Amino acid sequence: MSSMYAPPLGAVSQLQRVGSFAEFQHTVDRSFVPLRVSSQRPHDFHAAVRAASLRDFDLVEVAAVPHVVERTRNLVGESTNEPAYKVSLMLEGSAYICQDGHDVVLRPGDVAVYDTTRPYTLVFDDRMRTIVAMFPKRLVDLSDDRVARLTATALGSDDSLGEMVSSVLEQLAGRLHLVNASTGWRLARNAVDLVTILLRDQLGEDRAVPADQLQDAIYSYIEDRLGDPALSPTAIAEAHYISVRYLHALFHHAGISVSSYIRTRRLERCRTDLADPALAGATVTAIASRWSFADAPHFSRTFKAAYGETPSEFRARVA
């Protein structure tokens, strides 16, 4: 098999080279919910699957030659599995997905959601590789009928929020082996939250302006209020008519948390003031308080952790 079939996802994951069509059918059933799989060339079938389970979150990467996957009405009726959503990210090849009267052809980078409690069909006409995340519906605070409006559609393929979901799923699939079960579960929940945010965005919820413009506006808002002790993720989200989860997702994509960003900008303002000759008469405590550091010892420790010296040491050195 090609080297694209990568190392395992984690301690609970195994790279399984599938040598027969029957074995692939069994693997797919075990990894997801009961499905009917068919191929025009079952005697010359090649595939590889790797999978990881983190509590209620299952992540599976599949690479295979052409085949068809169906969740039939009978299989749905016989299923004892907990109601779940599946989210697919196409990595290579294409896929035709049909559910709830919708259909779409997914290309590399496209994301789609479908519901395991209703029939659906996936058709792969060429060699393909995809990442599929499956998680209980109860983790998504959206009603079935609202999500049904988006099943079997390409989600966010033309905006940065869709790119965030794609990036998180791909990174999660490639890095689960680097984290323990507890950390992995938190990452998985973050992925579910981000998918929920994407769904809300596609439904017209949590959307005010394009993500890049919104983020610029948020940065400016924070900059203007660094001296306000009441500045918080909740206050920022309310001021921009978005959810706190959406706010955290925007900053997650930038590689930093909201609180860390605010703290870093406040420390930089303190550092600038400590180096300003015009403020030489102001105490370190006064400067810290000006930028919402009310606890002087805590400010000193935080400053030293960031810059390698205490505020007083920095001030003496630059003076």
**Residues 213-244: tens digit of each pLDDT:** 788 889 999 999 999 999 999 999 888 877 78
Lowest mean pLDDT among 124-138, 168-182, 303-317: 168-182
Whole-number pLDDT of residue 8: 33
Q: What is the DSSP letter of 304?
A: H
- Domains of the chain plus CATH, in order, are 3-202 (2.60.120.10), 209-319 (1.10.10.60)
Q: Are 294 and 229 in contact (CB under 8 A)?
A: yes
What is the average pLDDT across 156-176? Answer: 78
Which percentage of the chain shows pLDDT scores above 70? 90
pLDDT at 178: 60
- Tell me the percentage of the chain whose pLDDT exceeds 90: 53
Q: What is the DSSP string of 69-91?
A: EEE-HHHHHH--SPPEEEEEEEE
Is residue 183 a contact partner of residue 175, using CB atoms and an 8 Å limit?
no
For 33-61, the pLDDT digits (tens) are 999 999 998 998 999 988 888 778 888 89
| 28-32, 84-88, 143-147 — most confident range | 84-88
Q: What is the pLDDT of residue 252?
A: 81
β-strand pairing of 128-136 with 95-99: unpaired
Look up the pTM and report it: 0.62
Of residues 205 and 110, more confidence is placed in 110
Buried b (16+ CB within 10 A) or exposed e, 167-182: bbbeebbeebeeeeee
Q: Which residues contact 247 (CB under 8 A, 6 or more apart)?
A: 218, 233, 236, 237, 240, 258
pLDDT over 90 at 84, yes or no:
yes
Q: Is the pLDDT of residue 7 over 50?
A: no
Cα–Cα distance measured from residue 107 to residue 125, given in angstroms and rounded to the nearest whole number = 12
Q: How confident is the model at residue 1 (pLDDT cuts 50, 70, 90)?
A: very low
